[in-house]
Structures are given as structure tokens and as C-alpha cells.
């Protein structure tokens, strides 16, 4: 019986951990295999000299998604992950010198009215519009499989599909934002939400304007012990539920019989039986490398879709404090259309890139020595195309240092005392992410939500998929939802088979 109930999870990213928790909560025996020495995947942690860095994600939205996972196991999230609401959320610098901090909507409205040419009415109308899209979409598009008949049979889904016009899927984000506001700075601020899933606001459907509501309506959040605190909390819960976590264990091959029923895993030259597998590995890497099936029809189609953007990240230990900066900081480029065109159409880094800086030592003083700071500096980049990233890294580093030194009025380079960087190629290598894209396929078309790979394989019996490259998509909360949907799908089939 024990063997019959065994599920193997490949990959300990947020999706894999979430699937493991969902399955273990329901009484399954779960073994999780993670190739790296620690779980977390893109959401990992790294020490560089005396500075600790979160390697990837930095802003937490929708903590309720995480809380529900813990509630499912009968636990309270605050006993595991110290989440805090942020106020302010992000400090913004525009190329014309305008500077202000964002906040939850009620607190943000007065700032926007003071700093930009916007009216209270425009702002409230926009908030209501973004909330309406969120209310219509989140349950249908994010919380259930889009590939299960039951989803479409529900009244709520049908209602949402009938009101498809209200979710603004036919305009681009930028078109809708430029229609709502005439001040280009307000439009730029709202267009930036396309980058929350690696997309281009000049192509992505305006439905994604609901992200502005998620951040300003539902709130931006931090974690007292860093974003890696989320991974530590989930890992602890998984272990308490009996999940057997094997780190430093790469799965080389998933074996199947001639009917494509999963029957084994090969790990370090040893083959073990496996009948139920949940993969948190990027769907293309999974088919190319683990299944040896790069020409599977769905995968061939998927490979033709544009991947979401990747990133160049500089991790800098800075030997001073900078009071002008907060936990999250954005330095906007002067020409957003040109910047996205460079990344998404010319597949190059922008000459004048928007710069994001996250400094966790502002919230967690232990992350840097006293009087110093840990700067995580990110610039959007195209996915890896096999190039040598050395020149891009050097040029971008120079440009970023120049801009930051100008705005912050000190020579930033002279204060860097510890340093490392991350490129699209390194992201691909370390996490298995196809071409190092951060969020699976981009959301640059209105059909993207329906094109993502389902959470249940139609080609392989016994194979389930989670993580940012499959439904409902990338970003921390969505990766967690994917793990829940994959886990529940497996449980439904297992119970049918058992009875």
C-alpha cells in the first residue's frame, strides 16, 4: 500500500514544494528530488562575502495563496513565515527627475495627485477597472485547471467567459493605460506591471492591468527573514508532513512503458520504480532532457511561443547606507516603448534600461554588516540564445553605475565591496528554466492563458506538471497555485483508481 501511495516530485521550486505539501496533507507518501544543494529553485539564497541575497524573486503579492496552503495542512502561516505588509511599497525615480513612493491605493492617491497630472476621479475609475478584471478572472484563470471539463461546467466560469469583453483582453495594456491617463509617467508606472510576468505592455492584453489592483488594492508584502524565508517555511511544513526531501539529487531520466505510462526514475545511474510523478521542471526541459521526447506535439507548439523575459542581476555588497533608497526601488528609462522593443523584438538589453534595486537589509538588518547594504540590482533581459553574456554584463554594469551615481549623487562603484552576477544562461543552468526565462511563456498574446501546458500530461499516464512554465503561469503565487492544482489533479485520479 505504501508503495502504491508514493509520489515522486522532481524539483523543489515553489511549485514542487506546494505540490508536495498538497499531496502529503492528503496522506500520500511524497519523495522530493532536488538537484541543487538546497530547495527553492529561482527563489534561493546566496552569501557573497558578509552579505546575504535572495537570488530571484523579491516582491511578494497574494500572500493569501500561501496562507491557504498552510491552512490546508491545518497550520497557520504566521508560525512558519513572518510576512509583513509594506508601506511604502516601491520608490520610483522617473527620467525627468520626478520621485515618489507607492503605497496601497488609499495612501497612494494623494501622492499621485501631488506629483503627477492625474485626478482623483481618474485614479478611482482605474482602480475600479483593475479590480473588476481581477474579480472576474482570478478564480477562473488562476485557481483551477483551464483544461478540465469541471472548470467550464461551473457557473462562475461560464459567467466570466460570457463577460469576456469586461476583462479587456482585446486591447494592449499600454493602449488601455494611455486611454485612462494622459500623464506619461502614470502610464509608465502602470505599464511596468507587464514585467511581473515577463511580458511587454505594448503587446500583452490589458487583462494584466489587474496586477495593479493586486499590488495596490491587496498590497505588496515582504518577509522578515527575506524571500527565502518563504522557502524555509514551506520546506519545514513539508518535512513535518513527512515529505522525504532529497537535495543534491538530479533526476536524469523518467522511464515509461510502450504505452507512455510512467514506470521509473533514473537518478545517478540507478533506476527506481515510480508510478506517479509531479514535475516542477520547466516543461520544455522536462520533455527534452528527462523524457527524451522533444517532438511531443504540444511541446513543439509550446517551443514556438515567445518565452517571457529573463534578467541580468548584479548582487552588490555596498559599504555604506543610502537613505534615499528603500526596500524596492525603480529607476525608469526615458523611453519605455524603445526599451521593450529592444528586449522583446530585437532580443537585446536596452541601452537605457529601467533599473530595479531590492535591498533586503532595509527590512532584515542581518543581511548586511552594520552600516552597509545588500543591493540586488536587476535589469530586464531577453532569454538566453547561446551568446556569451560577458559584454552585455560589462556594458550594462557601466550604464547602471553611471545612472545610479548620477541620481543618488555618489560614486556607487567605489562602494562595491562584494559582487556577483546572474545571467539568463546561468538561470537556465541552475534551475533548468528553458532559455533562462523567468516566467515560462510570455503573456504577450490574449490566448497565452489557454496555451500554457496543462497540469496533467495528456501524453504520459501518471505525469503531472507544476511550476511557472505551466498553468497558471510564473511568479511566486502562481507557481504555488500550480502545485496545488497538479496535486489535486493527481489526488482525484488516484481516488478514482482506488475506488
- Footprint of ligand FAD on this chain (CB under 6 A)? 10-16, 33-36, 41-43, 56-59, 250-251, 280-281, 290, 311, 313, 378, 427, 431-433, 438-439, 467-468, 474-476, 479
Tell me the closest approach of the beta carbon of residue 313 to ligand FAD, in angstroms: 5
Tell me the closest approach of the beta carbon of residue 1 to ligand FAD, in angstroms: 27
For ligand FAD, give the closer residue by CB, 57 or 201: 57
Query: Beta strands of 66-173 (E only): which ranges?
Result: 83-85, 91-93, 99-101
Sequence-distant (6+) residues with CB within 8 A of 199 are 208, 308, 309, 442, 443, 444
Query: Read out DSSP for 253-320?
Result: EEEE-TT-BEEEEEETTEEEE-SEEEE-S-HHHIIIIIS--TT-HHHHHHHHSPBPPEEEEEEEEESS
Tell me the closest approach of the beta carbon of residue 474 to ligand FAD, in angstroms: 4
- Residue 437 near residue 250 (C-beta atoms within 8 A): no
For ligand FAD, give the closer residue by CB, 15 or 317: 15
Give the DSSP letter of residue 37: S
Tell me the closest approach of the beta carbon of residue 470 to ligand FAD, in angstroms: 8
* Nearest of 437, 439, 324 to residue 384 by alpha carbon: 437
How far apart are the C-alpha atoms of 21 and 23, rounded to whole Å?
5
For ligand FAD, give the closer residue by CB, 116 or 488: 488
Tell me the closest approach of the beta carbon of residue 26 to ligand FAD, in angstroms: 20
3-class secondary structure, 142:
helix
How far apart are the C-alpha atoms of 480 and 329, rounded to whole Å?
26
Residue carrying C-alpha cell 545517478: 268
* Nearest of 250, 216, 236 to residue 104 by alpha carbon: 216
Tell me the closest approach of the beta carbon of residue 334 to ligand FAD, in angstroms: 24
For ligand FAD, give the closer residue by CB, 328 or 342: 328
**Distances in whole angstroms, Cα of residue 387 to Cα of each of 431, 435, 438:** 18, 11, 18
Taking phi over 0 as left and psi of -120 to 50 as alpha, with beta for the rest, 259 belongs to: alpha
Tell me the closest approach of the beta carbon of residue 139 to ligand FAD, in angstroms: 19
For ligand FAD, give the closer residue by CB, 41 or 306: 41
- Residue 300 near residue 405 (C-beta atoms within 8 A): no
Query: Read out DSSP for 455-496?
Result: SB-SSSBTEEE-STTBTT-SSHHHHHHHHHHHHHHHHHHHHH
Backbone angles phi, psi at 402, to 5 degrees: -65, -50
Tell me the closest approach of the beta carbon of residue 94 to ligand FAD, in angstroms: 21
For ligand FAD, give the closer residue by CB, 133 or 478: 478
Tell me the closest approach of the beta carbon of residue 251 to ligand FAD, in angstroms: 4
For ligand FAD, give the closer residue by CB, 205 or 424: 424
For ligand FAD, give the closer residue by CB, 255 or 369: 255
- Residue 348 near residue 342 (C-beta atoms within 8 A): yes
For ligand FAD, give the closer residue by CB, 116 or 278: 278
For ligand FAD, give the closer residue by CB, 183 or 293: 293
Tell me the closest approach of the beta carbon of residue 295 to ligand FAD, in angstroms: 20
State how beta strands 6-10 and 276-279 pair.
Answer: parallel
Amino acid at each position: 500500500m505504501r508503495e502504491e501511495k508514493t509520489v515522486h516530485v522532481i524539483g523543489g521550486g515553489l511549485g514542487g514544494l506546494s505540490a508536495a505539501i498538497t499531496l502529503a496533507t492528503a496522506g500520500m507518501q511524497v519523495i522530493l528530488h532536488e538537484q541543487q544543494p538546497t530547495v527553492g529553485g529561482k527563489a534561493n539564497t546566496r552569501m557573497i562575502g558578509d552579505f546575504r541575497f535572495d537570488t530571484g524573486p523579491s516582491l511578494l503579492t497574494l500572500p493569501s495563496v500561501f496562507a491557504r496552503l498552510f491552512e490546508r495542512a491545518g497550520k497557520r502561516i504566521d508560525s512558519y513565515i513572518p510576512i509583513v505588509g509594506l508601506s511604502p511599497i516601491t520608490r520610483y525615480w522617473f527620467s525627468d527627475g520626478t520621485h515618489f513612493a507607492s503605497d496601497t491605493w488609499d495612501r497612494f492617491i494623494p501622492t499621485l495627485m501631488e506629483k503627477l497630472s492625474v485626478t482623483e476621479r481618474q485614479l478611482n475609475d482605474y482602480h475600479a477597472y483593475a479590480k473588476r478584471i481581477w474579480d472576474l478572472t482570478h478564480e477562473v484563470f488562476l485557481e483551477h485547471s483551464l483544461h478540465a471539463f469541471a472548470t467550464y461546467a461551473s457557473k462562475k466560469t461560464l459567467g466570466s467567459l460570457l463577460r469576456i469583453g469586461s476583462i479587456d483582453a482585446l486591447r494592449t495594456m499600454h493602449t488601455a493605460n494611455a486611454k485612462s491617463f494622459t500623464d506619461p509617467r502614470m502610464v509608465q508606472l502602470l505599464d511596468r506591471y507587464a514585467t511581473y510576468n515577463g511580458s511587454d505592455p505594448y503587446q500583452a492584453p490589458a487583462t494584466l492591468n489587474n496586477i495593479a489592483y493586486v499590488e495596490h488594492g491587496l498590497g505588496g508584502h515582504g518577509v522578515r527573514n527575506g524571500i527565502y524565508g518563504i522557502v524555509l517555511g514551506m520546506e519545514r511544513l513539508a518535512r513535518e508532513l513527512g515529505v522525504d526531501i532529497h537535495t543534491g539529487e538530479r533526476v536524469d531520466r523518467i522511464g515509461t512503458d510502450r504505452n507512455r505510462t510512467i514506470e521509473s526514475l533514473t537518478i545517478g545511474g540507478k533506476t527506481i520504480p515510480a508510478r506517479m510523478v509531479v514535475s516542477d521542471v520547466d516543461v520544455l526541459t522536462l520533455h527534452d532532457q528527462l523524457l527524451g521526447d522533444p517532438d511531443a506535439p504540444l511541446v513543439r507548439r509550446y517551443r514556438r511561443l515567445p518565452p517571457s523575459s529573463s534578467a541580468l542581476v548584479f548582487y552588490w555588497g555596498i559599504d555604506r547606507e543610502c537613505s534615499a533608497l528603500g526596500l524596492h526601488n525603480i529607476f525608469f528609462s526615458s523611453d519605455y516603448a524603445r526599451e521593450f522593443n529592444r528586449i522583446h523584438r530585437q532580443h537585446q538589453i536596452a541601452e537605457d534600461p529601467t533599473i530595479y534595486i531590492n535591498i533586503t537589509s532595509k527590512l532584515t538588518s542581518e543581511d548586511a554588516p552594520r552600516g552597509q547594504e545588500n543591493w540586488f540590482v536587476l535589469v530586464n533581459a531577453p532569454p538566453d540564445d547561446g551568446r556569451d553574456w560577458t559584454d552585455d554584463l560589462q556594458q550594462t554594469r557601466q550604464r547602471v553605475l553611471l545612472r545610479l551615481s548620477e541620481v543618488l549623487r555618489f560614486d556607487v562603484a567605489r562602494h562595491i565591496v562584494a559582487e556577483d552576477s546572474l545571467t539568463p544562461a546561468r538561470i537556465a543552468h541552475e534551475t533548468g528554466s528553458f532559455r533562462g526565462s523567468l516566467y515560462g511563456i510570455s503573456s504577450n498574446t490574449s490566448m497565452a492563458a489557454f496555451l500554457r501546458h496543462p497540469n496533467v500530461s495528456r501524453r504520459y499516464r501518471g505525469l503531472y506538471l507544476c511550476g511557472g512554465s505551466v498553468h497558471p503561469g510564473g511568479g511566486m503565487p502562481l507557481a504555488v497555485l500550480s502545485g496545488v492544482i497538479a496535486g489535486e489533479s493527481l489526488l482525484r485520479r488516484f481516488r478514482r483508481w482506488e475506488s
